[in-house]
Amino acid sequence: MNIEEFDFDLPKELIAQTPLKERTASRLLVLNKQTKAISHHHFFDVKQFLKPGDCLVLNNTRVLPARLHGIKEDTGANVEILLLHQVDGDSWEILAKPAKKVKLGTVIRFGDGLLTATVTQIKEHGGRVVDFAYTGIFYEVLDQLGEMPLPPYIKEQLPEKERYQTVYAKEEGSAAAPTAGLHFTKELLNELEQMGVCIAFITLHVGLGTFRPVSVETVEEHEMHAEFYHMDQNTADLLNDVKQSDGRIISVGTTSTRTLETIARDNHGTFKQASGWTDIFIYPPYQFQAVDGLITNFHLPKSTLLMLISAFAGKDAVMEAYREAVQERYRFFSFGDAMFIYA
C-alpha cells in the first residue's frame, strides 16, 4: 500500500499552536464507522456517545521536561540534549545537538552544575548514552532545569508546563504527551463515572518516534519505533469483565490503542498483567481484538497514526472525515480538536 494514499491537503493555519483555555471546549468530530455518518460537536458532548457499561482506557504516562540546555565542561560550547529513555539508574539514552561535538567522555553541565552528564556510549543511530550526576531527586532537578519537548510543528512557547500533561498523568517517562487525553478534565471524568462508564489506566511511554515521518514508499516497509508499556492485573481483570458483559472498550488515543492491541494479540483477545516494549504497527487491513471505540486527535498526513485510525474506521471513511474537518476549519495535531470513532 502506497503511503500517498494517506496524504491530504492541510492549510498551515489549521495546525494548533496553543491549547484552548478550557480543555473540554475543543471541537469533536464524531464518526460512526458502520454507517459512515459524520456529526460535529464539542468535546463536552462526548457524554452523549458513551453509555453505562462502557470503559474508557486512558494512558497515564507523564511527559518529562526532557529538553535541557547546557555547556560543555571543556570548551564552554552550548549543547542541547533531549532525553529519550532511561537505560538503568542514572544512565539515559539521549539525543544531542550539535551531536558531532558531543564525543565519548564529554561532560556537559546544566544549571551551573546542578546536573552534569558524562557521555559513556555513542549509539549507531547517532544517539548518546550519558550518566547523570546530581544532588537530591533526579526528577525534581529535571523539573527545575528542563523544558517540555513540544512537537516540531509547534512554534509557540508553552507558558504553562501542565497544559501539555493530561490531568491524570502519573507515571514519569514520556517524551511526548498522549494528546487525545488533553481534552479531559477531572470533572468530566467524574461525570462519566457517575453515568456508569468505568475508567481504566494503562501506561505507554511515548517516544519521539511518534513524530518520525514515514520515509519509505510503501506502508509495509516502515519499521515502527518500540515503546515501553505496562498494564496491571486489576486493569486486565476490569477489561476482561467489560468484554464478557458486552460493554465497549473505548481507547483514548493511539498510544492506548497500541498497548491494548499488543496485549490482546499476545493473549488470544483477552487481557492480563503485562509489561514490555511494543513496536506494533497497525495499518489497513488489521483485525482489532481489543478496541471498540477510539477517541483521538487529528494527525499528520502520511503518518502511522493516520494509518492506525484508517485501519479502525476504514481508510475511505477516515479520509472523507479529514476532508470535512479541513473544510470545517477544525484545529489539527497535539493542541487541536478531537475525533470519536465508534460503532
Secondary structure of residue 65 in the 3-state scheme: coil
Q: What residue ranges of the chain have pLDDT lower than 70? A: 210-212
User: In the prediction, which pLDDT does 97 show?
Assistant: 93
User: In the prediction, which pLDDT does 155 show?
Assistant: 85
Any idea which residue has 497544559 for its cell?
A: 163
User: In the prediction, which pLDDT does 115 show?
Assistant: 97
Domains of the chain: 3-63+161-342 (3.40.1780.10), 67-147 (2.40.10.240)
What the block records as the C-alpha cell of 234 is: 486489576
User: In the prediction, which pLDDT does 152 show?
Assistant: 80
User: In the prediction, which pLDDT does 36 show?
Assistant: 96
Helix or strand run (H / E) with residue 143? helix 138-145
Pick the closest to residue 339 from 307, 296, 310 (CA basis).
296
What letter does residue 2 receive in the DSSP assignment? Answer: B
Judge contact between 302 and 8, C-beta under 8 A.
no
Using alpha carbons, list the distances in angstroms from residue 292 to 128, 237, 246, 251, 259: 40, 17, 10, 8, 14
Question: Whole-structure pTM over 0.85, yes or no?
Answer: yes
pLDDT digits (tens, 9 = 90+) for 186-228: 999 999 999 999 999 999 999 877 666 788 999 999 989 889 9
Helix or strand run (H / E) with residue 55? strand 55-59
Please state, in angstroms and rounded to a whole number, the distance separating the CA atoms of residues 8 and 1: 16
User: In the prediction, which pLDDT does 225 show?
Assistant: 84
Beta bridge partners of 142: none
Cα Dmax for the chain: 65
pLDDT digits (tens, 9 = 90+) for 36-73: 999 999 999 999 999 999 999 999 999 999 999 999 99
